[in-house]
Amino acid sequence: QKEVEQNSGPLSVPEGAIASLNCTYSDRVSQSFFWYRQYSGKSPELIMSIYSNGDKEDGRFTAQLNKASQYVSLLIRDSQPSDSATYLCAVKGGNQFYFGTGTSLTVIP
Amino acid sequence: NAGVMQNPRHLVRRRGQEARLRCSPMKGHSHVYWYRQLPEEGLKFMVYLQKENIIDESGMPKERFSAEFPKEGPSILRIQQVVRGDSAAYFCASSPTGTGETVGANVLTFGAGSRLTVL
């Protein structure tokens, strides 16, 4: 059983700040990594995928992957109140997707 | 292109009744995953299916729970003799392919979920 660990939070940042979300995983074979956002009472939606070491940027979001350290992070620049949600880290190994328990983010106006 | 369709969105059952949750994957997706989420908790994997095959059911409780994905029609998650502890949100997700580690593939898309309440 692969493990995906996230700080549960809650994480609070002021509007306009950078929010940093972290995730570690236990299986060195994993190749695909994902960040999902889940608003309260809603379903998870994919915001970023990353497959190679390094950074991947998409608008205000940057995913960082370090396979040697088994670490993946998500940076949210210029955080907005609408970014307030739970962020789920997911790792794919074989046929399976393994999810962390999520980090709750609150952006304070 | 419709997304992953789940129904019913909300289901209320009394203890001992049966609950049936349905999921139609995205067009072109042949792999279906079911997850359960309790309030304030993470997603727990239940079962992974392809058409007419259960690939991995390691997350399914041994009793009362079953899943299928027939050749025609939606995937169905069935819970017999429901108990209050079954109250949760049940999410279905689909993927265009479930095998291998192909870069750029294998992204999960979730449905809106079915929220089961057991009285």
B36: β partners: B44, B90
Of B43, B45, B111, the CB nearest to A96: B45
Over residues B16-52, the pLDDT tens digits come to 999 999 999 998 888 999 999 988 788 999 999 998 9
Of the partner residues A43, A46, A99, the one whose CB lies closest to the CB of residue B113 = A43
Model pLDDT, residue B16: 97
Residue B66 sits at the chain A interface (C-beta within 8 Å)? no
Q: Residue B16 and residue A40: Cα distance in Å, rounded?
A: 29
Taking an 8 Å cut-off on Cβ atoms, the answer to whether A49 and B107 are in contact is: yes
Tens-place pLDDT, residues B67-117: 999 999 999 999 999 999 999 999 999 988 655 445 555 789 999 999 999
B30 — contact with chain A (CB < 8 Å)? Answer: no
Q: Which residues of B touch A45 (CB under 8 A)?
A: 110
**pLDDT tens digits in sequence order for chain A, 109 residues long:** 568 999 877 999 999 999 999 999 987 677 789 999 999 999 999 999 998 899 999 999 999 999 999 999 999 999 999 999 999 999 987 778 889 989 999 999 9
What is the predicted pLDDT for the residue at A27?
78
CB nearest A46 (choices: B42, B91, B107):
B107
